[in-house]
Amino acid sequence: MNEVRRRSAVHVPQGFGAPHRPGQSGPTFLDSRQYHALATRRQRLMVLGGLFGLAWLVLVFQLFNLAVFNGDRASGASTRIVSVDKTLRRDIVDRNAQLLATSLKTVTLYADARDIADADEAARGLMSVFPEFDYADLKKKLESERAWVVLRHDLTPRQHASVHALGFPGFRFEERPRRIYPKGSLASHVVGFVGSENKGLIGLERTLNDALASDSADGPVELSLDLRVQYIMRDELIRSMLEFKAKAATGLVLDVTTGEILALVSLPDFDPNDIGAASNNQLFNRATMGVYEMGSTFKAFNTAMALDGGKIDIDDQFDASAPYKVANRTIHDFHPENRWLSVAEVFMVSSNIGSARIAHQVGAERQSEFLERLGLFDRAEVEIPEIGRPLLPVKWGPTETATVSYGHGISVSPLSIAVAMASLVNGGYKVEPTILRQRDYDPGTRTRVVREETSRQMRRLMRQVVTQGTASQADVPGYSVGGKTGTADKPSAGGYDRRALITSFAGIFPSDKPRYLVLALLDEPKGTPKTHNYRTAGWNAAPTVGAVVRRVAPALGVRPTAEVSPFAETAQLASTQR
Amino acid sequence: MMKLARTDRSAWTELMFTVDKGILLCVFLLMAAGLLVGLVASPAVAERLHLEPLHFFIRQFTFMLVAIPLILGIALLDATAIRRLGFVIFAVAFVGLLILPFVGMDIKGATRWISLGSFSLQPSEFLKPGFIVVLAAIFASVTEQNRKQISLIAAAITGLVVMMLVRQPDFGQTSLIAASFVIMLLLSGAPRRWIITLMTIGAGLSVAAYITVDHVRTRVETWLHPGSGDTYQIDLSLDAIARGGVTGQGLGEGRIKHVLPDAHTDFIFAATAEEFGLFACLALMTLFSTIIWRGLARSLETIDPFTQLATAGLVSLFGLQAIVNIGVNMKVLPTKGMTLPLVSYGGSSLLALAITSGMILALTRKRAASRAVSHAGLVRGGG
């Protein structure tokens, strides 16, 4: 056969329609049916070729994308690839040098069975060190001629020395670092954990991977956490979760001046020593990653916004005598006062109507500007990777202005709330949260968020919420707790679920000159006989914070004021005598 | 160079005159590239596994000594012989898959291998070219009257194969087999709505696998939401490509091979990128696309249905495997265990792809096309 004939066979139309003669040895002729089948196949072949072409285009595009336009990855990557798993990662400790994570050099015993001359002798020798080994199994392994037979992980130094002393050439040791978390689940979400390759996968272990993997000679990484406070926070949250049958809980303690986080708890949590057992629900960091509609806690921001603008006075009156119609919805109060309320009263009795009217008077533009200034529109950055982005209203109309004023239609993380709240009460300065210890905190670099006078007024109002308002159960004699409760219906498909609540309390102490902010949030708490079946924040989140303050204040060196000191009388006596 | 004359009827001259030299050259260049990258990348991997440094290289070299005659030998066959060979390979590999649960070895949680002394065979690799040839033979006899029956038979065979592979489990090969079936069905002239229906079912099954099979879900989620799972392998792969940049880090300067156990198999593309850079990757991709392009062009020229379908099918299989592998390396696709054809280390993979390439070469030979006409009975059977 030659080229010409092949061609003629290819260019079918030449033979198209020609009568078919059996046994013909000339050019191939196709009848119309065959011709159509061939035409279809060819058309589809071209489609196939086109698809392959497209696929290659995508691959080439991605190749250029990665190799040419991805310098960041290349520079960061070299450290990631190079940091071999043999480095002994640095310790992580709390502010009082309590150990949270450490690395141990562990030794694995393996055999290169090709170097074992006498498997029987070697097996007997090894059993003198490890009597628990099975002789038959061991002998089989040692006879296997395989280069890498693992015999035992985590040898003690004594076992290591004994096997070494046996002197068989086929036994080898491999040193591997192992990460240990002595405090287990106590600070699991903050510390995180490393994977099997000794690289940090979540939490600080991930963010600080390069620093931690450098060299253990550099000394430990110091956290701002205080494990005593962390323990108490976790303990009280567990207690409340069980008592109120909540699905989850989270809480944190923040130094309102330095931004240092002393405790950060998200429940349920997990044991970083056994990450295989942890579910996604346990791994989820509710304090920083979770975003919630916080409800009335937001009224603190609304009130501060009104007072800080200078146009509204704390005694100005707003009409809360009847439900307030805004666009297509009507705003009600949970405990209607049915009268005009001052700005202070709106905050204290937690009036939705009053808050919405205040927000409308201030206006949407200033409202969103103010909330953005508090950092509520951005992720609250802290040194762990699990940070949630706030969910903001898509448009900012009159309805949104109203709902946001009492904490609905906007979802932020508990950490965001704590940080914004801290700026309101610490004299009005922006707080940069951190979980690393700030040894040389320099107050000179702070930027102002609200006026000092506003901050003073907010402190007083928050104290009144505890003494006269919804949060009386958060009070701890002597520590002057202030704060704001929030009870929100949980958003559900197409609206809100009235049966499921998120309750929270953000408390400060001592409220005349706050040092710490304590926030507790419960996910779907239930009523109990003790709370007369109430489920609102004042009955569960507020007492949780109260219990935490009662226990942590002495540890943190906050001195109780005279009103409760057991020595109060003596002290007064002494002062009157003088 | 041996002098060739048309009058010389020896097998070698016959081959040299008729074979598609472009495809042949690309096949050998790919194998050579595999050997070269293997020489650079595999000692580090071998070291981690406490093997001799050249362990993988020597083995791969040995496999090539088998693979090259295999390619040339198969390339000499005509269409009829290819069809027979395909059926035999399919039957043997199918039986191999059947008995796998009883004689197979577990590697990384999947039973895919039959051990033959120091060498282990992976039947599913060999099954693929056989499967394509069988489908091509079946679809070649399609007429408008018997289209439904023929397609059902082909679908039944595909279903059987898929069931065996899912049992292992091997979702990479499963999707490759399923995609090959759809391509063959498409080429056989099936109505468009069949294809659409099939793709819908395929999508449904993928979703079902995603929901019910843990490691499939993990891989897809890792792909869609980095950070939700262990993205270690793929992160390293992307890092390696980025580190390689345009010019590469230089021979022996690669890092990925020290940390990634699959640097010489599934992630050899990333290892190449890291040491040799963008242009080496483009060169590799050019070799693959040349084989695909020339193969499809030859298929387009043929009129014999079997030759046409088998060529296109085998080329698609080859091309898809390359695309999936490179796609995984560059995170365009979720992680699947799939080798880079002819380049990755692995005896089963290399030998199976040698068979595939040999078949492609045989079917794209100049004379094979016209021979196929008489042998495959287009003239006799037509009309």
Mutation for testing the A interface, residue in B144, B214, B259, B274 having most A CBs under 10 Å: B259
* Interchain contact B382–A (C-beta under 8 A): yes
Q: Which of B292, B331, B378 sits opposite A52 (nearest CB)?
A: B292
Contacts of B259 in chain A (CB under 8 A): 81, 84-85, 197
What's the pLDDT score for residue A420?
A: 95
Contact A48 B244 (CB under 8 A): no
Other Cβ atoms less than 10 A from the Cβ of A527: the count is 15
Which has more confidence, A513 or B376?
A513
Residue B245 Cα, gap to closest chain A Cα (Å): 4
Decide if B237 touches A, using CB distance below 8 A: no
B319 CA: distance to closest CA in chain A (Å): 8
Contact B189 A46 (CB under 8 A): no
Looking at the partner chain, which of B239, B296, B378 has a beta carbon nearest the beta carbon of A77?
B239
Find which of A81, A108, A275, A279 to mutate to test the B interface (most B CBs within 10 Å of its CB). Answer: A81
Residues of A in contact with B189 (CB under 8 A): 37, 40-41, 44
What phi and psi, each to the nearest 5 degrees, are found at residue A92?
-120, 130
Would you tell me which residues 289-348 of chain B have a C-beta closer than 8 angstroms to some C-beta of chain A? 289, 292-293, 296, 299-303, 305, 308-309, 312, 316, 319, 323, 326-327, 330-332
Residue A125 C-alpha, separation from nearest chain B C-alpha, in angstroms: 24
Of the residues B317, B375, B379, B380, the best mutation for testing chain A's interface (the one with the most A CB atoms within 10 Å of its CB) is: B379
| CB A272, CB A445: distance < 8 Å | no
Paired with A252 in beta bridges are A264, A519
Stretch among A79-93, A497-511, B115-129, B332-346 having the lowest mean pLDDT: A79-93
- Side chain identity, residue B256: I
Cα distances (angstroms) measured from residue B167 to each of A474, B97, B213: 60, 10, 12
CB atoms B300 and A46 under 8 Å: yes
CA of A250: how far to CAs of A192, A376, A536, in Å? 16, 19, 16
| Alpha carbons A268 and B233: distance in angstroms, whole number | 30
Q: Cα–Cα distances in Å, from A228 out to A253, A398, A519?
A: 11, 46, 16
B242 close to A (CB below 8 A)? yes
Q: Which residues of B touch A38 (CB under 8 A)?
A: 303, 305
Tell whether B379 is within 8 A of chain A (Cβ). Answer: yes
How far apart, in whole angstroms, are the C-alpha atoms of residue A486 and residue A431? 22
Q: Do B242 and A56 touch (CB under 8 A)?
A: no
Encode pLDDT of B36-67 as tens digits.
Answer: 888 888 887 777 677 777 888 888 899 999 99
The span from the CA of A130 to the CA of A123, in Å, is 10
Q: Which CATH class is domain A83-222?
A: alpha beta
Across the interface, which of A41, A62, A81 has its CB nearest the CB of B332? Answer: A62
Q: Span A195-220, mean pLDDT?
A: 80
Chain B closest CA to A286's CA: distance in Å? 16
Distance CA A89, CA A145 (A): 35
Asked if B369 has any chain A CB less than 8 Å from its own CB, the reply is: yes
Does residue B369 have a pLDDT over 80?
Answer: no
- Looking at CA atoms only, how far is residue B243 from chain A in angstroms? 4
Render pLDDT for A58-72 as a digit per residue (tens, 0 to 9). 999 988 888 887 655
Check whether A250 has a pLDDT greater than 50. Answer: yes
How many CB pairs below 8 Å do chains A and B form together? 167
Which pair of tokens denotes residue B128? 């693929």
Nearest to B245 among A3, A67, A147 (CB): A67
Q: Could you report the predicted ipTM of this complex, rounded to two decimals?
A: 0.86
Mean per-residue pLDDT over chain B, rounded = 82
Residue of A11, A29, A45, A62 to mutate, interface with B, max B Cβ within 10 Å: A45
Q: For residue B113, what pLDDT is reported?
A: 63
Q: What is the mean pLDDT of residues A222-231?
A: 95
- Judging contacts by C-beta atoms under 8 Å, the chain A residues touching residue B293 are 49, 52
The residue extents of the domains of chain A are 83-222, 230-502+511-570
pLDDT for B197 beyond 50:
yes
pLDDT at position B166? 80
Nearest CA in chain A to B241: A67
Residues B313 and B136 sit within 8 Å (Cβ to Cβ): yes
Q: Which chain B residues have a beta carbon less than 8 Å from that of A51?
A: none
Q: Do B259 and A84 touch (CB under 8 A)?
A: yes
Find the DSSP H helices in B262-364. Answer: 268-276, 278-301, 305-329, 347-363
**What pLDDT, on the 0 to 100 scale, is given for residue B118?**
53
From the number of C-beta atoms within 10 Å of its C-beta (0-12, 13-18, 19+), residue A426 rates as buried
Which residues in chain B have Cβ-Cβ distances shorter than 8 Å to A48?
Answer: 183, 186-187, 296, 312, 316
The structural domains of chain B, with segments of one domain joined by +, span 28-363
Token pair for A516: 């710490």
Q: Do A33 and B144 touch (CB under 8 A)?
A: yes
Does the structure show a pLDDT above 90 at A359? yes
Active site residue A185: no
Cβ of residue B44 closer than 8 Å to a chain A Cβ: no
Q: Least CA distance to B226: which residue of chain A?
A: A201
Span B200-254, pLDDT tens digits: 887 888 788 777 776 666 666 666 655 444 566 777 888 888 888 888 887 777 7
What is residue A547's predicted lDDT score, i.e. its pLDDT? 95
Q: How many angstroms away from the CA of B283 is the closest CA of chain A?
A: 11
Distance from CA of A416 to the nearest CA of B (A): 22
Q: Does A268 sit behind a cis peptide bond, omega within 30 degrees of 0 on the bond before it? A: yes
| 3-state SS, one letter per residue, for A513-546 | CCCEEEEEEEECCCCCHHHCCCCCHHHCHHHHHH
Strand-pair partners of A517: A254, A508
**Do the chains contact at B379 and A24, CB–CB below 8 Å?**
yes
Task: Please say if the pLDDT value at position B198 is more than 60.
Answer: yes
Per the CB < 8 A criterion, the answer to whether B155 and B107 are in contact is no
What average pLDDT does the segment B104-112 reach? 58
Number of alpha carbons in the 13 Å side-chain half-sphere of residue A164: 11
CA contacts within 13 A on the Cβ side of A482: 27
- The confidence band for B337, taking pLDDT boundaries of 50, 70 and 90, is confident
Q: Which helix (H) or strand (E) holds A65?
A: helix A32-67
Nearest by CB: A77 against B242, B308, B382: B242
CA distance A344 to A317: 9
**Among chain B residues, CA nearest to A24:** B379
For the stretch B135-144, pLDDT in tens is 999 999 888 8
Question: Does the distance separating the beta carbons of B309 and A9 come in below 8 Å?
Answer: no
Q: What is the pLDDT of residue A575?
A: 47
| Catalytic entry in A83, A103, A296, A511 | A296
**In this model, does residue B1 exceed pLDDT 50?**
no
Q: Whole-angstrom Cα distance, residue B354 to residue B340?
A: 13
Chain A CB contacts of B227 under 8 Å are 385
Q: At what angle do helices B305-329 and B123-140 cross, to 10 degrees?
A: 140
Closest CA to B255 of B265, B266, B244, B247: B244
- The average confidence (pLDDT) of chain A is 85
Does residue B381 carry a pLDDT above 90?
A: no
Tell me the shortest Cα–Cα distance from A70 to chain B, in angstroms. 6
pLDDT tens digits for A173-187? 888 788 899 999 999
Q: What is the mean pLDDT of residues A242-269?
A: 95
Q: Which residue of B has its CA nearest to A20?
A: B383
Which of B243, B308, B326, B332 would you mutate first to test chain A, the one with the most A CBs within 10 A? B243
Residues A133, A127: contact at Cβ < 8 Å? Answer: yes
CATH class of A230-502+511-570: alpha beta
Q: What is the pLDDT of residue A574?
A: 47
Q: Cβ of B243 and A74 within 8 Å?
A: yes
